[in-house]
Amino acid sequence: QVQLRQSGPGLVKPSQTLSLTCAISGDSVSSNSAAWHWIRQSPSRGLEWLGRTYYRSKWYRDYAVSVKSRITINPDTSKNQFSLQVNSVTPEDTAVFYCARVSSSGALDVWGQGTTVTVSS
């Protein structure tokens, strides 16, 4: 059974960098048939896709236009996990962040437990 376990701070100061990690069990971040995504949810924005990384003979990364200039998603094959970094955060980045997998179903079928991140001084 595939599980995603998120970790990272729940409070980040404005202008600083938000960093979260998603540890994978039961699958591989290097899988040729999966992709690894980050999504956030807030009352004002609803569910918002942030980006993904996946391996198909080489690593690919795609980011949402709304955050493309501030976001980085990286795989870590040594720990079988992937990470999210959002730079220069503002209070508008306050949200519940989720990692998730897309597999052969073509859907976001496995989700992490969610991490509430508050941007505040």
Partner 1 sequence: QSVVTQPPSASGTPGQRVTISCSGSSSNIGRNTVNWYQQLPGTAPKLLIYSNNQRPSGVPDRFSGSKSGTSASLAISGLQSEDETDYYCAAWDDSLKGWVFGGGTKLTVL
Q: Angle at the Cα of 27 (from 23 to 28), degrees rounded to 5? A: 75
Closer residue to partner 1, CB minimum distance, 13 or 45: 45
Contacting partner 1 (CB under 8 A), which of 9, 14, 25, 109? Answer: 109
Closer residue to partner 1, CB minimum distance, 8 or 114: 114
Contacting partner 1 (CB under 8 A), which of 55, 95, 112, 117? Answer: 112
Contacting partner 1 (CB under 8 A), which of 30, 88, 107, 118? Answer: 107
Minimum Å gap between C-beta 119 and partner 1 is 20
Closer residue to partner 1, CB minimum distance, 39 or 95: 39
- Where in 38-57 is the site for partner 1 (CB under 8 A)? 39, 46-49, 51
